């Protein structure tokens, strides 16, 4: 087993931390060789609130994954979410020195770097700069400007911004757990690569990832990411409401939600009652399922309405922005009974539950294709993609050099072509974060 073909996704969630080790099999599908899970104690609403506890949980998850797989984990791809994430749209242009030369990757990089210089609010940092459509001179709606001629290159960008301190705290936890950070990715983007098909992204789709602490949204149309948002509540607030509404402890509330919970109050009869053991010598409590689903319904409705507002803000109701493929629900919270029906009822859009099994090898463990692992699978895919790209680059350069002494200018071009454009800005960002953490030692 070659180590360089292995990648690790680390999902630092509010309820659980998952480390997933995998590699690609000969059919290009992902084979998960080890998975480790730990209860996440130091994360609130997607943001690290206790460094020591988070480091311990990461180590626990990593140790478990290592002992299952027999592979030593060195570097990981980490997801970032939390209520501090926001996204904005921005247009920018560059004037090229020579309009008679073909537009190349370098021009796009210049344009992207220019967007990276945008002045953000104090304490904020740009995480992703994702080009949408390009405009060359006065010709609009160009998906791929490379190879065209033009003096002015313009683009609309989807810019994702996060809080510097939150990003650095995640970096600090990963480093202190003895790991290297190979990349940071926005969690909704990771979940999207795990559960959405290319056709859905083309037709227009909204991915709603309901986690424990946050609900992440990613909207795709024409194959391009159009909008991202992180809404600061998820499954945990539903549990809190049950805890308050029924006066029971959190553990019982969580169990009730998973075992008997439903997002649709109409289907439970008044006579359906669950008895919950009382605390130390107290009488058991009796709770009607109708009441339980009313509590869940009220909170879930609020979450969905928040998300739907974001979908409308993106422009779903316009002819151009219509999301034909509707909504895909994933994450642990999507397993709530009758949630899909409620989502369809509130939004009037088609919905399905997204399982991350499309990219997994056929003989994978059933448990892995649970929606609650969507983010971890997506992060693992991201890591493997990066490994393959780097390998291709090295291979191409080696081939070229053995054939003949190549001209100087072809090598960098080869390198850029083989690396996904989307990552190159991010790599710079990750390098910066690594430097920062090294200096902070």
Q: Which two tokens stand for residue 25?
A: 């099999």
Are 224 and 421 in contact, with CB atoms under 8 Å apart? no
Supply the pLDDT for residue 147. 92
Q: Note whether 155 and 224 are within 8 A (CB).
A: no
The single-letter DSSP state of residue 112 is H
Q: Which domain holds residue 288?
A: 235-298
DSSP per-residue letters across 360-403 = B-TT--GGGGSGGGHHHHHHHHHHHHHHHHHHHHHHHHHHHHHH
* Domain membership flag for residue 195: no
- In degrees and rounded to multiples of 5, residue 7 shows phi and psi of -135, 160
Q: Is 58 within a domain?
A: no
Number of domains in the chain: 1
288 occurs within a structural domain? yes
Look at residue 150 and tell me if it is in a domain: no
The pTM score is 0.84
Residue 265 inside a domain? The answer is: yes
286 domain-assigned:
yes
Calculate the alpha carbon distances from 104 to 101, 145, 147, 151 in Å. Answer: 9, 8, 6, 12
d(CA 439, CA 441): 5
Looking up residue 288, the CATH number of its domain turns out to be: 3.30.420.40
Tell me the pLDDT band of 198, cut-offs 50, 70 and 90.
very high
Say which residue the tokens 């001179």 belong to: 137
**What are residue 288's DSSP bridge partners?**
273
The answer, yes or no, to whether residue 205 has pLDDT greater than 90, is yes
The verdict on residue 256 lying in a domain is yes
The model's pLDDT over 112-162, given as tens digits with 9 standing for 90+, comes to: 999 998 888 899 999 889 898 999 998 988 989 999 999 999 999 999 999
pLDDT at 92: 93
342 pLDDT tier (thresholds 50, 70, 90): very high
So what's the pLDDT on residue 430? 65
Q: Is residue 223 part of a domain?
A: no
User: Helices in 17-136 by DSSP H: which ranges?
Assistant: 51-69, 105-116
Residue 315: exposure state from Cβ atoms within 10 A (0-12, 13-18, ≥19): middle
């Amino acid at each position: 087993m070659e180590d360089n073909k292995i990648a690790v996704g680390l999902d630092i969630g509010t309820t659980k931390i998952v480390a997933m080790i995998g590699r690609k099999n000969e059919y290009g599908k992902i084979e998960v060789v080890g998975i480790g899970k730990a209860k996440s104690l130091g994360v609130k609403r997607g943001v690290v609130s206790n460094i020591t506890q988070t480091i311990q949980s990461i180590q626990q998850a990593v140790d478990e994954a290592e002992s299952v797989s027999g592979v030593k984990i060195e570097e990981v791809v980490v997801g970032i979410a939390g209520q501090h994430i926001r996204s904005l749209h921005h247009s920018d242009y560059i004037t090229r020195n020579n309009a008679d030369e073909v537009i190349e990757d370098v021009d796009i990089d210049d344009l992207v770097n220019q967007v990276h210089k945008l002045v953000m609010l104090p304490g904020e940092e740009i995480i992703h700069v994702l080009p949408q459509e390009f405009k060359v001179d006065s010709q609009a709606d160009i998906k791929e400007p490379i190879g065209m001629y033009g003096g002015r290159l313009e683009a609309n960008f989807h810019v994702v911004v996060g809080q510097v301190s939150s990003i650095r705290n995640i970096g600090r936890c990963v480093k202190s757990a003895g790991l290297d950070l190979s990349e940071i990715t926005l969690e909704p983007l990771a979940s999207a690569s795990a559960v959405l098909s290319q056709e859905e992204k083309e037709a227009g789709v909204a991915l709603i990832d309901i986690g424990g602490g946050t609900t992440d949204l990613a909207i795709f149309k024409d194959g391009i990411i159009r909008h991202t948002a992180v809404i600061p509540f998820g499954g945990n607030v539903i549990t809190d409401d049950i805890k308050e509404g029924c006066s029971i402890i959190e553990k019982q509330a969580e169990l009730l939600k998973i075992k008997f919970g439903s997002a649709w109050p109409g289907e439970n009869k008044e006579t359906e009652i669950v008895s919950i053991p009382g605390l130390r010598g107290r009488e058991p409590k009796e709770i009607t399922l109708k009441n339980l689903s009313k509590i869940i319904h009220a909170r879930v409705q609020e979450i969905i309405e928040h998300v739907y507002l974001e979908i409308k803000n993106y422009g779903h109701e316009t002819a151009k922005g219509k999301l034909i493929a509707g909504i895909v629900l994933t994450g642990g919270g999507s397993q709530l009974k009758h949630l899909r029906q409620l989502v369809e009822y509130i939004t009037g859009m088609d919905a399905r539950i997204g399982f991350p099994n499309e990219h997994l090898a056929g003989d994978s463990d059933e448990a892995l294709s649970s929606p609650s692992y969507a983010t971890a699978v997506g992060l693992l895919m991201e890591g493997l993609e990066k490994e393959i790209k780097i390998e291709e680059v090295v291979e191409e350069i080696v081939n070229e050099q053995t054939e003949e002494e190549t001209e100087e200018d072809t090598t960098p071009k080869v390198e850029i072509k083989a690396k996904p454009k989307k990552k190159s800005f991010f790599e710079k960002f990750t390098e910066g974060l690594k430097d920062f953490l090294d200096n902070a030692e």
